[in-house]
Every structure is written in structure tokens, then in C-alpha cells.
Structure 1
Amino acid sequence: MTLQTMTLKIRAHLTYGESFELKMDSELPLNGVTALFGRSGCGKTTLLRIIAGLERVPGAAVSFGNQHWQQHSHFVPLHKRRIGLVFQEHSLLPHLSVKENLLYGYKRTPEPLRRLHPPEVTTMLGIDDLLDRRIDQLSGGQRQRVSLGRALLISPQLLLLDEPMAALDTYTKREIMPFLSRMATESEVPIIMVSHAPDEVERLADWVAFMHDGQIQSVKTLRDALAHPHSPLFDDTGAVSVLEGNLGTTAKDGLRKFGSPGAQLWVPDTGQTAGQQTKRLRILARDVSLSLDEPHRISIQNHLPVTIERIDPPHNNRMVVACRTGDQQLLLVEVTARAVNQLGLSTGQRLYALIKAVALLE
């Protein structure tokens, strides 16, 4: 696969006894967020350590754009690679305040290399009111936000996140997710994120690198990664669509418009700011129905004209119909094989998608 962007190239071969082998000859895009996705034990964290220079593998080669971090006997240590690291457990210095932790790396970054500065980072991560606190006075989510801030304030050319929400409870994950998303959008620093949680990938990733048994099997855009009914991203909930669009203002009934005029939906008001920043909407394929006729006088408020792009073969008597919306985004619909036959569904057919439930990814 040729990636039309600056890339991170990794070639490495590493074995741990007889139980694990990492065999890598891949390249990862360096724009937006790339998620390393796969089951526990497939080599995601080991790969991240090789990229960071924490794991020096003989014979490995790592290149960041035109910078050769490792090649033959040449090896650039972590502190010279200008990489920001955030792990599952925070690594903040407990004897320093939040402000002192944030400034620790900032002060050690040469002034000409400083692209990010404390005021913009603390505002981005919502930690302005925490600056004078001790680390032991922070919640788990606050500590991770401070860890992200400290990593950003070295003005890294690459940010590596190793399952930064794995140690957090469900409530705290929901609390920190908007800050992670905002950071990914506003910092303009390429991010490589280790995750085995589909919802994190759907919310944050622009690219997905699928890993299995120590190898990267494929690198896809998020849209392509979600385009097929048996994607590794799909869990017990089945096929999922992620639509992108802007939020409108809140109507009197508390709902907000989402998306372009040709493919507009109504979503609950979650307090997010309206504007030009693109938001993501998650829709389960099993929560979408199809109608040959334009729906009238029904309680389902979200219905869109769509065109069938393909119909996948049946699996357990269920079929996934892939449709294109008016703004050419992919919407997956799960129906029975009987429904496909009764409605006479075929590729290129225009009809209506009735969406029973949506979830705005915060």
C-alpha cells in the first residue's frame, strides 16, 4: 500500500522465546491519528517501544520522514527523537505541582523548537484550574490530561499513546475522550495510538493499522476500515457506520441538526459547541431499516434517501446492505435475507434509510 503522505517506516524482527515473534516491514502515515489495533499480545506495545527507541532491536530500521532514527549501527536515543509518550499509568513527578510537571519538559525544549506553549495546551485540555494542585489531589482522568499536556509541551514531532484510557473507569473515559479528540484535532502533532477498544478507534482515529501475531496486516483509512461487515473493528454489536459532519444550533425541542443539507440528521444536544469542527456520529447497522417508499407519519425522525452500493452475502440469515448517503458517506444496514428478497433490493437502487438510534461521539 502506498500512503500519500509523509510516513514512519519500521523494519524489525524480534522474538521472545518460542511464544512471540514480531516481524515488521511496514509504514505508517504521519497525519492525524493512526490507531494500532489488535488483540492483547499481538505486539502493539512492543512496536511502540521500537518506534520510541525504548527497545533497541539489532538490525532494525526506523525512519521518520527523512530522519533515520535507527539504521545499521546508527541509533538515535528517545530524547533526541522528540517524541511525546503517554502510557496507561501516568508518569508524573509526585513532588512537583501540576504546573511544574507541565513546565518540566517545556523548559528543557530549545526555544526555537517550541511550537506549543502552556496557555494554549492547558486551555485545550481543560486543566487551567488544576495548575496549583499536587498530583495526589487529582482524579485519574485529570492525571491523564496533565500527562497529555506534559507530552505536548516538549513540542514533539510525534506523540505515542499506549492505551491511555485502559486504566480508567467508564465514566472517566467518557470525561477524557473529548479532550483527547480536541488535542488530536488542534495540536497538529501526528499521533500513533495503541488500542484494542473499537469505540476509541471510531472516535479518534483517521487511520487504522490492523495487527495480528506480530505483524501489521493492513493500514486503512477509518472509512475503509469500517466499510466491510466483518471488519476486525466490529464487536458483538455488529457492523457500524461512522458519519462525519458539523453540528447546527439547538432547536426548541432540544435536538440539533447534524451533517450536510443532503444528508441531515437530528441528534440529541450534548452541550457540544456548534461550528465548523467536524464531529462523528456512530450508527449501528442493526439500528437502520430500509423503505422503498418515502416515509411519512412515522415516529422515526431520522430518514435519508440513499443508494445501494453493494449487498454482502448472507451470514446467519443476516445481510449487510452498504448504502451511500446524499453526501457520499457509507451507511451500513443490517437486514434479513428474506427482506432483501421481498423488497427486491439490488445494487444502484435508490430508497430510504430509517435510522432508529444515533450516538454522537464526544
Structure 2
Amino acid sequence: MLEVALRHRFGQAGSWRASRRDGFALDLAFTAPGAGVTALFGPSGCGKSTVLAAIAGLLRPAEGRVTLDGEALLDTARGVAVPPERRRCAVVFQDARLFPHMSVETNLRYGLRRAPPGAPGPGFEEVVALLGIGPLLGRRPARLSGGERQRVALGRALLARPRLLLMDEPLAALDAARQGEVLPFLARLRATARLPILYVTHALEEVDALADRLVLLEGGRLVAAGAVEELSLRTDLPLAARRDAGAVLPCTVAGHDPHRGLTRLAFAGGELAVPLREEPVGTRARVRLRARDVAVAVTEPRGLSTQNLLPAVLAAIGEAPSPHEVFLRLQVGPSALLSRVTRDSVERLGLVPGMAVWAVLKAVSFDRAGAAPPAGGLDT
């Protein structure tokens, strides 16, 4: 388990050495489990990368304690500050930072040479296969795409056999196509590498696709922490103000209908029809059901083009960021969804908690949040 508690204030604005960080204060504490992906999420400038730097030993905070599996990497009260090179925290930055004069293979083997003798972890061939970089081994970084460079940087980090993998917005410098190229490999890493991963991002789609746990930051403070699915339903958080706010639903691929171009996703409470996906039947998946895409009917709709009509119970009516709208919490069996509707709709339909209603969702409205590949893979 990773335990983090940090307090730090940058210099006062107005001094001759002032920078854009002067006056910023960090004061937070959180924990991350011993495996899986914990995302540090929030707007630019909220302190995400500062936290990562303090954990890696690249920043010495004014006060703080960082422990990994009970071992103190930092404890300012006791005067403990393990040097960065001895913390075994591998960092993957926005820019790949590969050695330009080395081939891909030599860059990777550099990471392997930095691994402590006898440290458990994946072998060279395993990492190459996991990241699909076999055809790139003879190339120099200048001949790689941005997505390929990030995959090589990730491979080099893994071969150093870290105890903790830190990723600082690794997709931020890539265009949408290159992000789409790298995300499946990160999802595969999440499912196969048995080590804690701390992932910094301000992109909610990356959280949905990769994270098991979410740490929400704002202005250097902790706003909330918990499972991604749990926090996606919290209408009291800043996430609720986003247009893509909505429930993240764990599902399993139940079947495909190529002729109709649809895939059936089973969840606890029913099934959803979504645009055709590639994953085999039985694959675990997640989808984001945007609250603004979930309509509500008080009687069973007939003659609609909409694929998904789910019987539900209106569990609660809550405030929305707009004074003219509300969030409806809908219970579909043991699963919960959110619907964002106008106050006028609540009055017209006579909606009150406890009512039986129908949740109406178009198949094309689903945001694909991610899929967990089959078990197996890296031995860490």
C-alpha cells in the first residue's frame, strides 16, 4: 500500500525569483492499494504533478510522509528522505525522454540494467510482447511515432522492475489517434502488472479507461477519493458540473450481433445494447452513461428507435449545477444510473422518489470507458 501525506507552499509571489507556482499551497493525504491504477485527477495546476514529484523524490516538501508497503520513503519529522534512485519508483513523463542515440532495444535494456540484482519483475521478451514493440527494436527514437515512443518509455520503466510506477500525463502530448494507440496497452498493463500505478491526468476518459481508484484534487486539496464507479455517482463533486458527468457501469460482454452492428453488455440489473465492439464474449468492460443522455419515462415507451429501455426506480432527486436542472438517481436492480433533466420535466411528469420509471438510452450515446484484458501477463 502507498500512503501519502504532504504539505508544501511555494515561494511568495512578488519576489524577484517568483514563478507561476509561487503562492501555491499543497495540503493533502491519501492512500493507494498495493496493485491497480490510482488516478490523480483534477484541473491543470491543482497539484497532481507536484504530488508525483514528491513521491518520486524529485521535490522535497516542507512537511510530509510517504510510505510504500510500510517502508518510509519520506518522513520529514524523522529526517528520512530516501534518494530518488533508491526509491524504485519508475516515472513515465509526458515526453518519452528516450536516449536519441540508442536503438529501442538499447533503451529498453538500459532500464533492465537499472533493476536491482535479484529484483522480481518481467523479462525483456515479456515486456516487448506486452507492449507490441517487437518490430521497433532496431529503430532510433526519431523514427518512432509519439505513441510508439511512449510505449517504449513504458517498457523501459517496467524493465527497471519498480515497486511503484508513476505516470505523469503520459498521453497529454499525443493527438487523439496516438492516444487511441497507447490506451489499449495501458489497459493491458493495468490488468497484468501486479504493482501499484499512480496515474496523473486531467482527462476523464483516461480515468474511465484505466483507473480502479480515483483521487480528486482541486487547488492543492483532496476533494474526494474512492472507486471510480462510486465517485461517478456523486453529484456533490466538481465532476457533476461536466457535460460528460454520469455513471460508470461495470459490464461483461454478453454477445455480438454483427448484422445489426450491436454488442450486448450485461450488468448487475440488466443488459445494454451498444455499438459493435471487438472484445470477445466474457470480457469485462466499463461504459460511461452520461446523465444528459439518460431520459426518463413514467410509462413503458412504445415505437421508439432507442435500443435500451430499462425498468427502474427513482431513488432520489438532487441538485444540479444549473438552477433549472436536477439529477435523478435511478436504481436498476443493484446498479445506479444518473439522469439530468429539467425541473420542468420533474413537475410535468410528477416525479417523486420511489416511483417506478423507465430509463431510456440510445445505443449510440455510450462512451466506451475501457475493457480489462484476460488475466495473465507480467510476473511482478
Q: TM-score, normalised by structure 2?
A: 0.87
Q: In 2, distance between residues paired with 1:55 and 1:239?
A: 34
The 3 A distance-change label for structure 1 pair 349 and 123 is: farther
When the two chains are superposed, the root-mean-square deviation of aligned CA atoms in Å is 2.0
Question: What amino acid sits opposite 2:213 in the alignment?
Answer: W
Question: What amino acid sits opposite 2:288 in the alignment?
Answer: R
SS of residue paired to 1:312: strand
Find out whether 1:15 has 2:15 as its counterpart.
no
Corresponding residue for residue 55 of structure 1: 59
Matches within 5 A, 1:212-291: 212-229=218-235, 231-234=237-240, 236-251=242-257, 252-260=259-267, 262-276=269-283, 278-291=284-297
Conserved? CA contact 1:85–1:159, under 8 Å: yes
Q: Could you tell me which runs of 5 or more consecutive residues in structure 2 were left unpaired when the two chains were aligned.
A: 14-21, 371-380
Q: In 1, distance between residues paired with 2:140 and 2:170?
A: 21
Corresponding residue for residue 374 of structure 2: none
Conserved? CA contact 1:161–1:192, under 8 Å: yes
SS of residue paired to 1:142: helix
Conserved? CA contact 2:124–2:159, under 8 Å: yes
Aligned length, in residue pairs: 355
Q: TM-score, normalised by structure 1?
A: 0.91
Matches within 5 A, 1:84-233: 84-229=90-235, 231-233=237-239
SS of residue paired to 1:113: coil
Q: Could you tell me which runs of 5 or more consecutive residues in structure 1 were left unpaired when the two chains were aligned.
A: 1-5
Question: Which of 348, 353, 367 is matched with 1:359 structurally?
Answer: 367
Q: In 2, distance between residues paired with 1:149 and 1:195?
A: 20
Question: What amino acid sits opposite 1:49 in the alignment?
Answer: A
The 3 A distance-change label for structure 1 pair 260 and 87 is: same
Corresponding residue for residue 68 of structure 2: 64
Conserved? CA contact 1:10–1:61, under 8 Å: yes
Corresponding residue for residue 3 of structure 1: none
The 3 A distance-change label for structure 1 pair 273 and 235 is: farther
SS of residue paired to 2:118: helix
The 3 A distance-change label for structure 1 pair 348 and 121 is: farther
1:135 CA displacement: 1.2
1:141 CA displacement: 0.6
1:59 CA displacement: 4.2
1:67 CA displacement: 0.5
SS of residue paired to 1:289: strand
Identity of aligned pairs, percent?
Answer: 36
Find out whether 1:37 has 2:36 as its counterpart.
no
Conserved? CA contact 1:26–1:216, under 8 Å: yes
